[in-house]
Amino acid sequence: MSEFDLIRRHFTRATPSALLGVGDDAALLQVSAGNVLAVSSDMLVCGTHFFTDADPYLLGHKTLAVNLSDMAAMGANPRWATLALSLPKVDEAWLEQFSAGFFSLAQQHGVELIGGDTTRGPLNLCVTIMGEVPQGKTLRRDGAQVGDEVWVSGSLGDAALGLAHLQGKIDLPEDARIHCLAALHQPTPRVALGLALRGVATSAIDISDGLLSDLGHILERSQVGGEIDFVTLPIPDVMISNELKQRCVLSGGDDYELCFTAPAARHVDILSISEKLNLPLTRIGKIVAGQGWVIQDATGNQLKIESTGYEHFQ
Amino acid sequence: MSEFDLIRRHFTRATPSALLGVGDDAALLQVSAGNVLAVSSDMLVCGTHFFTDADPYLLGHKTLAVNLSDMAAMGANPRWATLALSLPKVDEAWLEQFSAGFFSLAQQHGVELIGGDTTRGPLNLCVTIMGEVPQGKTLRRDGAQVGDEVWVSGSLGDAALGLAHLQGKIDLPEDARIHCLAALHQPTPRVALGLALRGVATSAIDISDGLLSDLGHILERSQVGGEIDFVTLPIPDVMISNELKQRCVLSGGDDYELCFTAPAARHVDILSISEKLNLPLTRIGKIVAGQGWVIQDATGNQLKIESTGYEHFQ
């Protein structure tokens, strides 16, 4: 099968929202009036982000999901994506499953695959996602204000617990295992939440490297500090050691929940968004003057944290 | 060095043309009024597109150049790029040279790096490029008309000859070697030509997989045929066998010249563009009714061609 057949068979779907889709030197897109374009790229590498035997359907889902999560964190409405993939060989069954997982999630979010590249090489998946957001309504990292509340969506640490289970570090009971492995393999990007937070949140980020690392980016860019109450964190109810729990929740990667800040005056609005989306939103602390975060336990003592996030090159 | 330090040190330059550049969940871009966005992704993989010992400065150049070439082929003015790279390890000297080559070419074309990703894994470079083109002025593959002339820029086969030399298949004399290796390692994207051809050419493509393969895409999308005169092809003056010459010129990859069609009535306009840009533009044949291409030798006999282009998966 040629590269062109491969693209035609597995990666060409209708692109009614594009002026020109797959099949030319570039796709042509029209950004809606009054909107700016939000653009982000994420690369998933075999051996680094997933195992060789990863289920291709779930991998197709996750490849797009981590990119949709970036759109959510900007308050952008995802519209288009390119997919560049490097494959060791053409495996029809794998490609069929991978593209099915990718397009299933794309369709849910109205995202069209408008271009990309296929080439031979070690398995590598690179998506660039493009979305729209009305000018002035973007959720940036640099808008947190002293006095804001800090919130997170969903629960934290599930994916990290799932990974720890796969690595044989813990042995999760069946219910928790199913839940945590789903969080790891098939994360739900919080796109609807990002859209709902336009004009409500003062800053937002998606949690991909662990809460503390990613919250740290908001604090740094906004030049403020943060106080987090450990007991308020939405943590899966699993019987594991406190140390491991802390590590997974605070520094585990792959959550793809949103961490955001909003004025205390919007507290009720956020609870109403939570109810409308049927998605837990938890106030976990507040923004203070200063820099960096502190984490307090139930008695108000500061927790000491060693690792603060996933690092590719350390 | 952390991933964040790596990005800060090597891949963060001013992005005055973006509303928001590197450092948030996504970049924010404003497409100029009256323009549409042209988007393309190209991935370069170690072992497939370049050798392990490739000069990092030239590799940085080429990684961007092949993407700029796609903008040229659409008649788009390149504006922004994302770069996702997977690296086996952090090699400061390599990164410094790679980013210097990348940014040197970016600066020449006013392109800003507005985002991307860095991760650990086999060396892989993925660029998504975004450009602007006034609505209705794009150079697509599907506009060739019966009676149009077929043109190519520059000369064909140089990069393929350079590769054949590196592979020990031929032994080029010094002058030709320098020229052909430069064409292979440091191709010149024909961006200015693409802009000049707006409103003149009826279709265009950049030659990355070999003339016949890429011209074939224009013919297929335009539902026309093409007659090419072999003797008119702009071929480097190198003493090698006719068979190898044909293969390099017709089916060799990595030329990154433009192949385009234009009405015969625009012949003089094209010669004047050639003069203005100081870039050879050669009429190599014409568009006819039918499908596919034929190639004629000096006596009008059809040449038989076996391989018609680079294929990753064959």
Which SS3 state, helix, strand or coil, does residue B35 take? strand
- What does the block give as tokens for B112? 């800003």
Comparing CB atoms, the residue among A118, A221, A312 nearest residue B3 is A312
- What does the block give as tokens for A212? 């503390």
Cβ atoms within 10 A of the Cβ of B91, count? 12
B-chain residues near A70 (CB < 8 A): 25-26
A-chain residues near B38 (CB < 8 A): 26-29
Instruction: Quick: pLDDT tens for A74-100.
Output: 999 999 999 999 999 989 999 999 999
Instruction: Quick: pLDDT tens for A137-192.
Output: 999 999 999 999 999 999 999 999 998 898 888 888 898 899 999 999 999 999 99
Ramachandran class of B13: left when φ > 0, alpha when ψ lies in -120 to 50, beta otherwise: beta
Q: Does B26 touch chain A (CB under 8 A)?
A: yes
Instruction: Measure the CA angle with vertex B286, ends B281 and B289; round to 5°.
Output: 155
Q: Are A202 and A262 in contact (CB under 8 A)?
A: yes
> Does A314 score more than 60 pLDDT?
no
- Residue A237 is predicted with a pLDDT of 77
Comparing CB atoms, the residue among A43, A90, A119 nearest residue B117 is A43
* CA distance readout (Å), B20 to A192, B16, B28, B119: 22, 9, 5, 22
**Are B177 and B77 members of one domain?**
no
Q: Does B7 touch chain A (CB under 8 A)?
A: no
Instruction: Tell me phi and psi for residue A151, to 5 degrees.
Output: -125, 155
Stated as kind and residue range, the H or E segment containing B179 is helix B174-185
- Domain presence at residue B307: no
| Closest chain B residue by Cα to residue A50 | B121
Instruction: Tell me phi and psi for residue B235, to 5 degrees.
Output: -115, 135
Instruction: Quick: pLDDT tens for A202-221.
Output: 999 999 989 999 999 999 99
Domain end among A109, A134, A159: A134
Q: Does A7 touch chain B (CB under 8 A)?
A: no
Q: Does A17 touch chain B (CB under 8 A)?
A: no
CATH code: domain of residue A194: 3.90.650.10
Q: B269, exposed or middle or buried, with CB in 10 Å at 0-12, 13-18, 19+? A: middle
CB within 8 Å: B45 and A121: yes
Q: What is the number of CB-based contacts under 8 A between chain A and chain B? A: 226
Comparing CB atoms, the residue among A2, A19, A115 nearest residue B40 is A115
Residue B139: partners with Cβ closer than 8 Å, 6 or more residues away: B73, B74, B75, B194, B197, B198, B201, B203, B204, B260
A-chain residues near B130 (CB < 8 A): 39
- What does the block give as tokens for A59? 């991998």
Domain extent, residue B115, equals 3-134
Number of structural domains (chain A) is: 2
**Are B232 and B161 members of one domain?**
yes
Instruction: Measure the CA angle with vertex A71, ends A65 and A77; round to 5°.
Output: 110
Q: Does A52 touch chain B (CB under 8 A)?
A: no
Ramachandran class of A162: left when φ > 0, alpha when ψ lies in -120 to 50, beta otherwise: alpha
Q: Does B132 touch chain A (CB under 8 A)?
A: no
**Are B118 and B158 members of one domain?**
no
Percent of chain A exceeding pLDDT 70 equals 96
- Domain presence at residue A306: no
> Does A247 score more than 90 pLDDT?
no
Q: Which of A69, A126, A310 should one mutate to test binding to chain B, selecting the residue with the greatest count of B CBs within 10 A?
A: A126
**Are A170 and A277 members of one domain?**
yes
- Domain presence at residue B143: no
Alpha-carbon gap: A12 to the closest alpha carbon of chain B (Å): 15
- Residue B9 is predicted with a pLDDT of 84
- Give the residues of chain B that fall short of pLDDT 70: 1, 239, 306-314
Quick one: how many helices (H) and strands (E) in chain A?
9, 11
- Residue A312 is predicted with a pLDDT of 57
| Closest chain A residue by Cα to residue B91 | A313
Sheet holding B203-206, edge to edge: B203-206, B258-262, B149-153, B281-288, B225-229, B292-296
- What does the block give as tokens for B184? 């292979």
| Closest chain A residue by Cα to residue B143 | A24
- Residue B313 is predicted with a pLDDT of 59
Q: Which of residues 239-278 of A touch B (CB under 8 A)?
A: none
| Closest chain A residue by Cα to residue B141 | A24
CB within 8 Å: A43 and B119: yes
**Are B157 and B290 members of one domain?**
yes
Alpha-carbon gap: A179 to the closest alpha carbon of chain B (Å): 27
A-chain residues near B309 (CB < 8 A): none
**Are A285 and A157 members of one domain?**
yes
**Are B71 and B192 members of one domain?**
no
Percent of chain B exceeding pLDDT 90 equals 71
Q: Which of A6, A17, A24, A221 should one mutate to test binding to chain B, selecting the residue with the greatest count of B CBs within 10 A?
A: A24
Q: Does A2 touch chain B (CB under 8 A)?
A: yes
User: E-strand spans in chain A?
Assistant: 27-29, 35-45, 77-87, 112-120, 124-134, 149-153, 203-206, 225-229, 258-262, 281-288, 292-296
A-chain residues near B122 (CB < 8 A): 45, 121-122, 124
- What does the block give as tokens for A61? 């889902």
- Residue A309 is predicted with a pLDDT of 65
Domain end among B134, B169, B191: B134
A-chain residues near B312 (CB < 8 A): 3, 118-120
- Domain presence at residue A82: yes
**Are B31 and B102 members of one domain?**
yes
Q: Against a cut of 0.90, is the pTM above it? A: yes
Alpha-carbon gap: A82 to the closest alpha carbon of chain B (Å): 7
Q: Which of A4, A6, A12, A25 should one mutate to test binding to chain B, selecting the residue with the greatest count of B CBs within 10 A?
A: A25
Comparing CB atoms, the residue among B23, B27, B84 nearest residue A221 is B23
Whole-angstrom Cα distance, residue A101 to residue A97? 6
**Are A83 and A215 members of one domain?**
no
| Closest chain B residue by Cα to residue A41 | B116
How would residue A311 be classed by pLDDT, with cut points 50, 70 and 90? low
Instruction: Tell me phi and psi for residue A150, to 5 degrees.
Output: -105, 130
Side-chain half-sphere of B271: how many Cα atoms within 13 Å? 5
Instruction: Quick: pLDDT tens for A274-307.
Output: 999 999 999 999 999 999 999 998 888 888 876 6
- Domain presence at residue A89: yes
CB within 8 Å: A26 and B70: yes
Relative to beta strand B35-45, strand A27-29 is: antiparallel
Quick one: how many helices (H) and strands (E) in chain B?
9, 11
Mean of pLDDT over chain A: 92
Mean pLDDT of A231-247: 81
Cα B30 versus chain centre, distance: 26
- Domain presence at residue B308: no
B-chain residues near A79 (CB < 8 A): none
Q: Which of residues 212-241 of B touch A (CB under 8 A)?
A: 221
Q: Does B135 touch chain A (CB under 8 A)?
A: yes
DSSP classification of residue A298: T
**Are B186 and B274 members of one domain?**
yes
Cβ atoms within 10 A of the Cβ of B201, count? 27
**Are A186 and A74 members of one domain?**
no
- Residue A242 is predicted with a pLDDT of 78
Residue B240: partners with Cβ closer than 8 Å, 6 or more residues away: B161, B170
**Are A52 and A90 members of one domain?**
yes
CB within 8 Å: B124 and A121: yes
Q: Are B153 and B183 in contact (CB under 8 A)?
A: no
Comparing CB atoms, the residue among A87, A115, A311 nearest residue B41 is A115
A-chain residues near B135 (CB < 8 A): 30
- Domain presence at residue A214: yes
Instruction: Quick: pLDDT tens for A27-84.
Output: 999 999 999 999 999 999 998 888 889 999 999 999 999 999 999 999 999 999 999 9
Tokens 């939103």 belong to A281
B-chain residues near A87 (CB < 8 A): 313
Domain end among A134, A161, A194: A134
Q: Does A65 touch chain B (CB under 8 A)?
A: no
| Closest chain A residue by Cα to residue B222 | A24
SS (H, E, C) B72-114: HHHCCEEEEEEEEEEECCCCHHHHHHHHHHHHHHHHHCCCEEE
- Domain presence at residue A308: no
Confidence check on the interface: ipTM exceeds 0.90, yes or no: yes
CATH code: domain of residue A18: 3.30.1330.10
